[in-house]
Amino acid sequence: MQISKKSVFDIAIIGAGINGSVLAYFLEKAGKKVAVFDGGGIASGGSGAAGAFISPKIAKGGDLKAISDEAFDFSLAFYNNYFPEYITSSPLLHLSKQASENEKVRYFKEHTSLHVNNPSEALMDILEPSSKDFESLYLEKSGVVDAKGICKALLSGVEFINEEVTELSCVVRDEEALLGCKDNIWHINDYKALHVCLATGAYKKLLDLPYIALRGVWGHRIDIETSTIIPVNIHQYVSISATKKGKAAIGATHDVHFHPQKNTQAYDIESGRAELLKKASQTIKLSDLKILKDYVGLRSGSNDYLPIIGSLVDVEKTIQKFPKILKGKKHPREELCYYPNLSMINGTGGYGFVLAPYLAKKLTDKIVKEKKIDKRLEPVRFFERWAKRV
């Protein structure tokens, strides 16, 4: 749809994966006029290929575990309360992949605030014998989300523009005086917005942000039909969903080397599918197996494994203002130069559907209510490291 020159969106979100979709949902509910751009369509990348399991991170501790625990509770409630038709609730059986992980699983069981138990003998009996050699835990509350379905539902009240963004630039207010706007204006192709949020994952960058440290991880999911009754979601070598009407899903972020914009050869779907089935068979026997559909896409994680939300540093202006920053001189974050009204939500990796609602609500509160974001998650942390190295 062509927008007139006098029409300006409050927020333009670039990327219609789970991060961009749920951010658009919260911003629209906050009364903002929102547009979401994606040339591939809704959930066309890594989000559409995700298993979309809503489960906690099994770890001993650390910042990511603490954030993931909060996000797990928030997001499970969010999906169940507002989009119950898009989540299938099932318990979770988590098993160590190898003996060296047993201690981590035991520690999690002993120190988590979540209600976990040891699985029953009857449940363990459905597994392949070798799986029983490892530590396990049983979580009553868990679920699987319909990846594409939830993204489309989240965007049902939002303007979706099915275009690849090729132009992204900010124009100062004087040049846009005729629009009557009191702020800078972002140009997104032929459209305009007061604020832009980047939710593009590990795909092509639209701005020169050399400090943002992202890693793409190729994801593959297959939907299957089987006569095997799987009563719970299972996480071990891969993630396997509980069967519903004889159907289940198997998925993993199992290829850290393939990138669709860097590799010269296309991804071998048959080989990837064979690997998923091989790993799944190490946990449970799938009888009368039939492949229904493959989904593939690039998931985006940060190099320090923590998600990324918040404002983005303007490298050129910051170096002009503080040239000695490249020689190791430190400056408070609030004194650095940032792009006006530009935010990012990224780096959620294999926990995208767990982290996205929690992070999007926090970014919405920052944009709408000017609430501060946890310093551990701000993109500026990467600028500080990058400047020190350069």
Residue 4 pLDDT > 80:
no
Q: What local confidence, expressed as pLDDT, does residue 254 receive?
A: 61
Least confident residue range of 145-154, 240-249, 255-264, 271-280: 255-264
The confidence score (pLDDT) of residue 277 equals: 95
Write down the architecture of domain 9-45+150-213+304-389 according to CATH: 3-Layer(bba) Sandwich (3.50)
Mean pLDDT on 349-369: 95
Q: What is the mean pLDDT of the chain?
A: 90
Q: Give the residue extent of every domain in the chain.
A: 9-45+150-213+304-389, 90-145+214-302
- Taking only the tens place, the pLDDT of each residue in 225-239 is 999 999 999 999 999
Write the DSSP string, 317-380: HHHHH-GGGGGT----GGGS-EEEEEEEEE-BGGGHHHHHHHHHHHHHHHHHH-PPPPTTT-TH
pLDDT of residue 338: 95
pLDDT tens digit string along 277-294? 999 999 999 999 999 999
| In the predicted structure, residue 60 carries a pLDDT above the cut 90 | no
More confident residue, 133 or 371: 371
The domain 90-145+214-302 is placed in CATH, from the list 3.40.1190.10, 3.40.50.1110, 3.30.9.10, 3.90.79.10, at 3.30.9.10
Are 140 and 111 contacting, i.e. CB atoms less than 8 angstroms apart? Answer: no
The pLDDT confidence band at residue 339, using thresholds 50, 70 and 90, is very high
Would you place residue 176 in the very low, low, confident or very high pLDDT band (cuts 50, 70, 90)?
very low
Q: What is the mean pLDDT of residues 2-20?
A: 83
pLDDT band at residue 255 under the 50/70/90 scheme: low
Return the pLDDT at 266: 86
Lowest mean pLDDT among 23-37, 98-112, 147-161: 98-112
Stretch 363-384: mean pLDDT: 96
DSSP string, 36-73: EE-TT-TT-STTTT---EE-----S-SHHHHHHHHHHH
CA atoms of 186 and 193, how far apart (whole Å): 5
Residue 264: which pLDDT band, with cuts at 50, 70 and 90? confident
* Paired tokens of 38: 């994606």
Q: What is the mean pLDDT of residues 52-78?
A: 91
pLDDT greater than 80 at residue 260: no
Q: Quick one: pLDDT band at residue 349, thresholds 50, 70, 90? A: confident
Q: Is the pLDDT of residue 250 over 90?
A: yes
**Closest by CA position to 367, among listed 193, 249, 192, 217:** 193
Mean pLDDT (whole number) for 46-61: 89
Give the length of the chain.
390
Residue 180, pLDDT above cutoff 70: no
Q: Does the fold of domain 90-145+214-302 match that of domain 9-45+150-213+304-389?
A: no
